[in-house]
Amino acid sequence: MRVSKLFTKTLKEAPADEVAKNAQLLIRAGYVHKEMAGVYAYLPLGLRVIEKIKQIVREEMDGIDSNELIMTTLQRKEIWDKTTRWDDDIVDVWFKTKLKDDTELGLGWSHEEPIVEMMKQYVRVSLYQFQTKMRNELRAKSGIMRGREFIMKDMYSFHASKEDLEAYYNQAIDAYMRVYDRLGIGDETYVTFASGGAFTKFSHEFQTICDAGEDVIYLHRAKNIAINEEVLDDAVKELGVEKDELEAVKTAETGNIFNFGTQKTDEMDLYYVGEDGKDHSLFIGSYGIGITRAMGVIAEKLSDDKGLVWPDNIAPYTVYLVSIGDKGAAEADRLYEELREKGVEVLYDDRDERPGAKFADSELLGIPHRITVSDRLLEKEQYEYTNRMSGETVLLTPEEMLAKLV
């Protein structure tokens, strides 16, 4: 993509009403557009990041034999009545609406009940989707980390036995950790004991250390034990650790997994017929990852005073190509085509701008590798290479540069 063809421009300032660092940077760099508090549009660069995060999650969920589908945003009241969760006193984040004939509908804040209903017609396995969830959240001051609409990957698994669910649940924990590793936040993401869980005492959250997060967990780094503050007393007893061995850290919940046991299937009358010819309850697991929250957490954690910093595998483009001078521009045109032919994703700053402005934009955008082609360097048959994360700048021959990027 040529920067001259990109419809977004970088901004010096974020909107005054935007207090979250992740959204300030993402707005200034042209990744997102703020429609209103907690509601963001994802612009071309932001969309590319989301698609890359989704692809990593997709590969890992496919890896544990889950099937991708996409469910509906409009949902029926009757389905949620079965579990009492249509009631605003029980679920306080519903956006509700009506058909012209006054039939009440909800905008999906979750898809747990609809998927159980749907499974009455199908073979039960593991299913997942990427869906925009709508939630009337009370507070929306964390930028894209807490949206009133946001993209979630939700997955549901259905099992004939508790043992089968447990085995799958453990596979899902491993798949989740592979996702966080590939997103570049695995080292700072902890499988955390949290409240809930039908026949286990705890559910599990995936908490990523982040100053802008809304949660606090208690961490035993040596034993790799993490506990959400809401279940601290309970969990400390259960796990046999001392409170004063634990360190409190601020975190953001980037994912969670939960087992419902047979509660939801019983409430909603979903059974399977066993070999004995009788109806049996089904066990359900529910597994979420906040796609846009994860993007916000990465923006918060990896950024610096110059702007965003993306890891290679989720950056919207791998290379930011800067041309300086007339000869530099001709060579940059050629190099742009060559890199693209070799499959490298290049954002080419072909604008007639000061070098300093191009460098500043490449830093704000957080593209991992920058290549500068200038009249002066061409005389020596060299390119300048700068690594966004380490800040390292070196002069490279064309061969060395290709070896680094391809």
AA letter at 364: L
Q: How far is the CB of 289 from ligand ATP (least distance, A)?
A: 6
Which residue lies nearer to ligand ATP by CB, 108 or 368?
A: 108
Number of residues that bind ligand ATP (CB under 6 A): 14
Which residue lies nearer to ligand ATP by CB, 147 or 184?
A: 147
AA letter at 111: H
Name the segment binding ligand ATP (CB under 6 A); options: 56-64, 72-80, 145-153, 274-282.
145-153
Nearest to 287 by CA among 170, 153, 158: 153
Sheet strand arrangement including 319-324: 346-349, 319-324, 369-374, 383-387, 393-396
**Is the backbone of residue 263 left (phi > 0), alpha (psi -120 to 50) or beta?**
alpha
Coil, helix or strand for 294? helix
Tokens of 290: 């906040």
Nearest to 289 by CA among 168, 179, 399: 179
Q: What is the 3-state secondary structure (H, E, C) of 336-392?
A: HHHHHHCCCCEEEECCCCCHHHHHHHHHHHCCCEEEEEEHHHHHCCCEEEEECCCCC
- Decide: is 114 part of the binding site for ligand ATP (CB under 6 A): no
- Decide: is 111 part of the binding site for ligand ATP (CB under 6 A): no
CB 296 within 8 A of CB 145: yes
Q: How far is the CB of 204 from ligand ATP (least distance, A)?
A: 11
How many whole angstroms separate alpha carbon 397 and alpha carbon 258? 53
Site for ligand ATP in 235-264 (CB under 6 A): 253-256
- Decide: is 204 part of the binding site for ligand ATP (CB under 6 A): no
Which residue lies nearer to ligand ATP by CB, 51 or 345?
A: 51
CA angle 206, 201, 58 (to 5 degrees): 30
- Decide: is 307 part of the binding site for ligand ATP (CB under 6 A): no
- Decide: is 60 part of the binding site for ligand ATP (CB under 6 A): no
Backbone angles phi, psi at 293, to 5 degrees: -65, -40
- Decide: is 292 part of the binding site for ligand ATP (CB under 6 A): yes
Which residue lies nearer to ligand ATP by CB, 24 or 254?
A: 254
CB 83 within 8 A of CB 268: yes
Nearest to 151 by CA among 44, 56, 288, 37: 288
Binds ligand ATP (CB under 6 A): choice among 152, 183, 185, 309: 152
- Decide: is 298 part of the binding site for ligand ATP (CB under 6 A): no
Q: How far is the CB of 287 from ligand ATP (least distance, A)?
A: 9
- Decide: is 384 part of the binding site for ligand ATP (CB under 6 A): no
- Decide: is 21 part of the binding site for ligand ATP (CB under 6 A): no
Q: How far is the CB of 255 from ligand ATP (least distance, A)?
A: 5
CA 298 from chain center: how many Å?
9
Binds ligand ATP (CB under 6 A): choice among 184, 290, 307, 328: 290
Which residue lies nearer to ligand ATP by CB, 232 or 389?
A: 232
Site for ligand ATP in 119-138 (CB under 6 A): 135, 137
Binds ligand ATP (CB under 6 A): choice among 146, 182, 369, 370: 146
Name the segment binding ligand ATP (CB under 6 A); options: 29-37, 96-104, 146-154, 323-331.
146-154
Give the interface with ligand ATP as residue ranges (CB under 6 A). 135, 137, 146-147, 150, 152, 253-256, 288, 290, 292-293
